[in-house]
């Protein structure tokens, strides 16, 4: 059935008439018949049909019987007066049959003119659940006049509160401002809709996600309007501050059921400033309010800031200085290492190019057999840990960054790939546990290296600063200065020991990252439990540290570490050593001459010689390594896309 026909049926209600109504109908028919007998000639056609005439002529006939004030005076001046009686009451083709009640007019179809509103109303809660018709709200339609815009909001509230006597709204900030004449203040329809009131509005327990998303969108529409907020001495940035929190990010990535929306904290119609004791966000009410979603927390949990402005030094000093520190850390790290990477690439590329032009080829100074002899650099355990680290790191990035950049086009794709925000969170935490276990194991190995069994603390400083240690020493500082001199053709490339200064930085950065990302992540994992250790505002700091340190780690791995280990022109497109565990003695002598000389002097070269890796190992290493590089580069592009656009 079409919308117009359905609205026609909607305009009347089928019900059994009472005896009084039946008597009134017969009395009306009798009076009408008398009027018709006394009517002048020509008023009714031979067959008793209504004459073909314009709206005014038709109205004059109607007024013979329907001559009350609403029909004779109010209707011509109403909003519908220009369409006449038959504009709504159609199908009256025989006056005699109509006057006797034998022929009733067609049902009034408001949708024949108000098409858009009719289409909206078909899904309206009041129609579907309550069987409301147009005239249930638009009463006195014959005297209906177009209302001045300034009176519209007040009229809507008055009409809605005839059925919905909501004391909370009447006492709310919206209502108070509206009654004072503020046209920016929200009336009932601004939040609930007018003719498109959703069905789930009284069933939030059944449709929590859709309802939460709908109402949050309504709140954002007004509270992100800079001009409107300025007129009302409010901040238009509160929406942006909310969207920068975990609640807002998960909401924007498409999974509102997992987090609190605006209406969850600013409950129902209780929209009052936090200074008002009746407000749901008043300090005395926060424990109960937060307790609707969070359970078993310390009372200081409510110190969490739902709309934090980390640029506001006065009101959020801890958050502000954390932001300054993290911004400086990111800027300083990438400024140095991207410059280092570019200068290194330029030096190696142009030096290789110059040697090719001159026809110079590097020659191995070792015997032919020794040149191709493989030696071990990484043990099987170290290689396995690196593979686990790669896999866990990719999972962490692909489950965490969609939440960090929820408005990016790819964020929703990744979330759907994992099966939603809840599954992504589980995978994120699982990968985090793997990474924590790896770092903990490395910490144990480091402790055993410093304090080997049977030696106690003897010589631990020497081992800490020795050539096999990954802890920085004075030689690393000299190597760094020598490297920059080499970049600008002011000296030779430094000769390295077992570990270079950038490899030591990579190693220690993992421990720093685990402290920053892992520590903050553990606090955020169960914030209710964390409230027994730290106040709620510390969770805001933890969220910022977790997010920014993750960005630092991801971009450092994908841009700096990838270059240092794989994209140097002498190693491009990939160095397989971390997967095969071995490289040639020629590469050992060329890349780490001081280690080669030390091993030679200590007669240890024989102990590290290994067979050439087999074809299966090389194929698997190449496939996994190149695949990892491809995924890393793809993620780098997506991250920069999110940052820039």
Instruction: List alpha helices for 300-372, DSSP H.
Output: 317-358, 368-372
Same domain, 124 and 164: no
Neighbouring-strand partners of residue 374: 584, 610
pLDDT at 17 over 80: no
Q: Which residue has the tokens 């680290």?
A: 389
**In this structure, are 282 and 322 located in the same domain?**
no
First to last CA, the chain: 47
Q: How far apart are alpha carbons 618 and 623 in whole angstroms?
A: 8
Tell me, yes or no, whether 424 and 545 share the same domain. Answer: yes
**Rounded-to-5 percentages of helix, strand, coil across the chain:** 65, 0, 35
14 — pLDDT class (breaks 50, 70, 90): very low
Note whether residue 143 is domain-resident: no
Q: What domain count does the chain have?
A: 3
* Residue 444 CB coordination number (10 Å): 10
The Cα 495–Cα 596 span in angstroms is: 11
Pick the last residue of a domain from 87, 116, 137.
137
Whether 478 contacts 508, CB under 8 Å = no
Provide the pLDDT for residue 57.
65
Query: Tokens representing 396?
Result: 């962490």
Angle at alpha carbon of residue 136, lines to 135 and 140, rounded to 5° = 50
pLDDT digits (tens, 9 = 90+) for 149-167: 888 888 888 888 888 876 7
In a domain, 201, yes or no: yes
489 and 579, same domain (yes or no): yes
Helix (H, G, I), strand (E, B) or coil at 609: strand
- The C-alpha atoms of residue 516 and residue 549 are separated, in whole angstroms, by 7
Q: What's the rounded Cα separation, in Å, for the pair 293 and 384?
A: 41
Which residue is it, tokens 């083709």? 93
Q: Does pLDDT of 16 surpass 70? A: no
User: Residue 375: helix, strand or coil by DSSP?
Assistant: strand
- Same domain (yes/no): 38, 103: yes
Task: Let me know if residue 194 belongs to a domain.
Answer: yes
Of 232, 261, 293, at which residue does a domain stop? 293
Reported as a single tens digit per residue, the pLDDT across 64-106 is 888 888 888 888 888 888 888 888 888 888 888 888 888 888 8
pLDDT tens digits for 244-279? Answer: 999 999 988 888 777 888 888 888 787 888 888 988
Per the CB < 8 A criterion, the answer to whether 4 and 111 are in contact is yes
Query: Taking the C-alpha atoms of 447, 452, 456 and 460 in order, what is their torsion angle to the nearest 10 degrees?
Result: -70
Q: What is the pLDDT of residues 582-628, one digit of tens each?
A: 999 999 999 999 999 999 999 999 999 999 999 999 999 999 999 99
- Predicted confidence band of residue 47 (pLDDT cuts 50, 70, 90): very low
Task: Assess whether the previous peptide bond of 136 is cis (omega < 30° from 0).
Answer: no
- Asked if pLDDT for residue 347 goes beyond 50, the answer is yes
Res. 50: pLDDT tops 80: no
Say if residue 106 is in the same domain as residue 219: no
Task: Judge whether 102 lies within some domain.
Answer: yes
Percent of the chain with pLDDT over 90: 54
Q: Rg of the chain's alpha carbons, rounded to an integer? A: 39
CB 155 within 8 Å of CB 179: no
58 shares its domain with 182: no
Based on the domain organization, do 117 and 152 belong to the same domain?
no
- Identify whether 426 is part of a domain: yes
pLDDT exceeds cutoff 60 at 114: yes
Same domain, 424 and 511: yes
Nearest 5°: CA angle at 58, between 56 and 61? 110
Last residue of a domain, one of 137, 158, 186: 137
Q: pLDDT for 410-464, tens place per residue?
A: 999 999 999 988 899 999 999 999 999 999 999 999 999 999 987 777 789 999 9
Is 307 a member of any domain? no
- Same-domain pairing of 267 and 354: no
Q: Exposed, middle or buried by CB within 10 Å (0-12, 13-18, 19+), for 457?
A: exposed
- Distance between CA atoms of residues 373 and 360, nearest Å: 24
What tokens does 120 get?
A: 């909206």
pTM metric for this prediction: 0.81
Tokens of 402: 């969609």
Q: How many CB atoms lie within 10 A of CB 208?
A: 15
Same domain, 452 and 472: yes
Confidence (pLDDT) at 125 = 86
Q: What is the pLDDT of residue 3?
A: 40
Q: Which residue has the higher pLDDT, 394 or 169?
A: 394
Cis, bond preceding 180 (omega within 30 deg of 0): no
Give the closest residue to 397 by CA, choosing from 158, 106, 628, 109: 628
Question: Greater confidence, 31 or 344?
Answer: 344
Share of the chain above pLDDT 70, in %: 89
Q: Does 602 fall in a domain?
A: yes
The DSSP code sequence of 32-98 is HHHHHHHSPTTSS-TTSPPP---HHHHHHHHHHH--SHIIIIITTTSTTGGG-GGGTS-----HHHH
Task: Give the domain extent around 419.
Answer: 317-644
| DSSP structural state of residue 208 | H
CA neighbor of 135 nearest in space, from 107, 166, 101: 107
Are 418 and 453 found together in one domain?
A: yes
Q: Is residue 569 part of a domain?
A: yes
């Amino acid at each position: 059935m079409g919308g117009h026909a359905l609205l026609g049926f909607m305009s009347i209600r089928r019900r059994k008439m009472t005896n009084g109504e039946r008597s009134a109908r017969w009395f009306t028919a009798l009076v009408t018949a008398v009027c018709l007998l006394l009517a002048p000639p020509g008023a009714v056609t031979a067959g008793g049909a209504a004459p073909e005439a314009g709206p005014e002529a038709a109205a004059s006939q109607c007024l013979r019987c329907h001559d009350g004030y609403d029909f004779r005076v109010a209707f011509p001046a109403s909003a519908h007066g220009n369409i006449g009686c038959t504009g709504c009451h159609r199908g009256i083709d025989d006056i005699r049959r109509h006057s006797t009640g034998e022929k009733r007019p067609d049902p009034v179809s408001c949708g024949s003119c108000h098409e858009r509103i009719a289409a909206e109303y078909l899904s309206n809660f009041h129609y579907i659940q309550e069987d409301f018709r147009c005239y249930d709200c638009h009463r006195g339609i014959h005297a209906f006049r177009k209302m001045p815009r300034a009176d519209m909001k007040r009229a809507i509230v008055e009409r809605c509160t005839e059925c919905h006597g909501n004391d909370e709204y009447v006492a709310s900030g919206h209502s108070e401002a509206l009654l004072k004449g503020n046209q920016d203040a929200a009336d009932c329809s601004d939040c609930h809709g007018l003719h498109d009131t959703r069905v789930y509005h009284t069933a939030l327990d059944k449709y929590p996600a859709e309802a939460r998303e709908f109402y949050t969108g309504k709140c954002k529409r007004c509270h992100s309007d800079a001009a409107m907020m300025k007129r009302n001495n409010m901040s238009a940035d509160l929406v942006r501050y909310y969207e920068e929190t975990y609640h807002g990010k998960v909401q924007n990535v498409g999974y509102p059921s997992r987090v609190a929306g605006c209406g969850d904290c600013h409950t129902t119609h209780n929209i009052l400033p936090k200074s008002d004791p009746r407000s749901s966000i008043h300090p005395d009410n926060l424990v109960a309010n937060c307790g609707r979603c969070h359970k078993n927390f310390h009372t200081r949990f409510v110190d969490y800031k739902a709309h934090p402005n980390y640029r506001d030094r006065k009101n959020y000093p801890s958050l502000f200085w954390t932001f300054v520190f993290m911004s400086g850390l990111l800027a300083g790290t990438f400024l140095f290492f991207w410059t280092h990477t570019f200068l290194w690439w330029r030096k190696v590329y142009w030096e290789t190019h110059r040697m090719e032009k001159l026809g110079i080829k590097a020659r191995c100074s070792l015997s032919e057999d020794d040149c191709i002899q493989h030696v071990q650099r990484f043990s099987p355990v170290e290689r396995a840990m690196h593979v686990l680290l790669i896999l866990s790191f990719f999972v962490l990035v692909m489950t965490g960054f969609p939440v960090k950049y929820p408005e990016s086009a790819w964020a929703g794709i990744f979330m759907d790939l994992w099966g939603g925000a809840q599954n992504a969170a589980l995978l994120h935490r699982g990968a985090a546990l793997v990474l924590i276990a790896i770092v903990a194991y490395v910490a144990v190995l480091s402790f055993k290296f410093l304090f080997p069994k049977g030696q106690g603390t003897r010589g631990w400083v020497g081992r800490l600063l020795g050539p096999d240690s990954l802890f920085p020493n004075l030689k690393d500082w000299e190597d760094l200065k020598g490297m920059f001199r080499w970049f600008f053709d002011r000296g030779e490339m430094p000769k390295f020991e077992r570990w270079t200064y950038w490899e030591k930085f990579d190693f220690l950065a993992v421990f720093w990252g685990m402290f920053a990302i892992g520590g903050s992540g553990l606090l955020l994992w169960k914030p209710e439990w964390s409230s027994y250790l730290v106040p709620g505002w510390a969770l805001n700091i933890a969220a910022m540290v977790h997010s920014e340190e993750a960005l630092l780690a991801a971009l450092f791995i994908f841009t700096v570490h990838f270059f240092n280990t794989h994209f140097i022109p002498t190693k491009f497109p990939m160095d397989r050593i971390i997967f095969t565990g071995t490289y040639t003695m020629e590469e050992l002598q060329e890349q780490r001459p001081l280690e080669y000389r030390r091993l030679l002097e200590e007669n240890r070269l024989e102990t590290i010689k290994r067979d050439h890796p087999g074809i299966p190992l090389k194929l698997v290493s190449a496939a996994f390594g190149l695949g990892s590089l491809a995924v890393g580069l793809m993620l780098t592009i997506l991250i920069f896309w999110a940052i820039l656009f």
